[in-house]
Amino acid sequence: MYALVLEGGGAKGSYQIGACKALKELGIDFVAVAGTSIGALNGAMVVQDQLDKAYEIWYNITPAQIFNLEEEGLKKAWNILTSKGLDTSLIKKLLWEVIDEQKLRNSNMEFGFVTVSLTDMKPLELFLDDIPEGKVVDYLLASAYLPTFKHEKIDGKRFVDGAFYDNLPLNMLVKRGYKKILAIRTKALGRTRKVADTQVMVDVVSPNDNLGGMLDFNRQQARLNLQLGYYDALRYFQGLKGRKYYIKPTDDEDYFFNFLQAPGEKTILKLGEIMGFKGIPYRRLLFEHLVPKLTLLLDLHKESSYEDLVIAMLEIIAAENNVERFRIYSLREFLSTIKSKLMVERNSLK
pLDDT of residue 320: 94
121 and 267 assigned to the same domain: no
Of 238, 268, 285, the residue that ends a domain is: 238
pLDDT of residue 64: 86
188 and 303 assigned to the same domain: no
311 and 294 assigned to the same domain: yes
209 and 250 assigned to the same domain: no
pLDDT of residue 39: 98
- Cβ(180)–Cβ(1) under 8 Å? yes
**Band (274; pLDDT cuts 50, 70, 90):** confident
Give the chain's domain count. Answer: 2
pLDDT of residue 80 exceeding 60, the answer is no
- DSSP-derived secondary structure for 299-329: T--TT--HHHHHHHHHHHHHHHTT---SSEE
Of 199, 218, 238, the residue that ends a domain is: 238
185 and 265 assigned to the same domain: no
Kindly report the length of the chain: 350
6 and 153 assigned to the same domain: yes
Q: Using alpha carbons only, what angle is made at residue 253 by residues 295 and 250, rounded to the nearest 5 degrees?
A: 105
pLDDT of residue 129 exceeding 80, the answer is yes
Which of the given ranges, 128-137, 260-269, 296-305, 341-350, has the highest pLDDT on average? Answer: 128-137
146 and 289 assigned to the same domain: no
Give me the chain's average pLDDT, please: 91
pLDDT of residue 157: 92
pLDDT of residue 349: 61
Q: What is the DSSP letter of 246?
A: E
pLDDT of residue 237 exceeding 80, the answer is yes
pLDDT of residue 78: 47
pTM, two decimals, is 0.91
The gap from C-alpha 128 to its chain's centroid, in whole angstroms, comes to 26
**Band (150; pLDDT cuts 50, 70, 90):** confident
Per DSSP, the three-state class of 59 is helix
Region 178-206 average pLDDT: 95
Q: Which residues lie closer than 8 Å to 148 by C-beta, 6 or more apart?
A: 81, 85, 86, 215
pLDDT of residue 350: 57
175 and 259 assigned to the same domain: no
pLDDT of residue 303 exceeding 90, the answer is no
pLDDT: is 133 or 349 the higher one?
133
Region 64-74 average pLDDT: 64
pLDDT of residue 212: 96
The residue segments making up the domain with residue 301 are: 246-348
313 and 334 assigned to the same domain: yes
Could you tell me which of 271, 265, 207, 302 has the C-alpha nearest to residue 9? Answer: 207
130 and 276 assigned to the same domain: no
- The share of the chain scoring above pLDDT 70, in percent, equals 93
153 and 296 assigned to the same domain: no
pLDDT of residue 85 exceeding 70, the answer is no
pLDDT of residue 76 exceeding 60, the answer is no
81 and 199 assigned to the same domain: yes
pLDDT of residue 41: 98
Residue 128 sits in a domain whose CATH number is: 3.40.1090.10
pLDDT of residue 278: 84
pLDDT of residue 65: 87
pLDDT of residue 152: 80
**Band (120; pLDDT cuts 50, 70, 90):** very high
Of 183, 204, 238, the residue that ends a domain is: 238
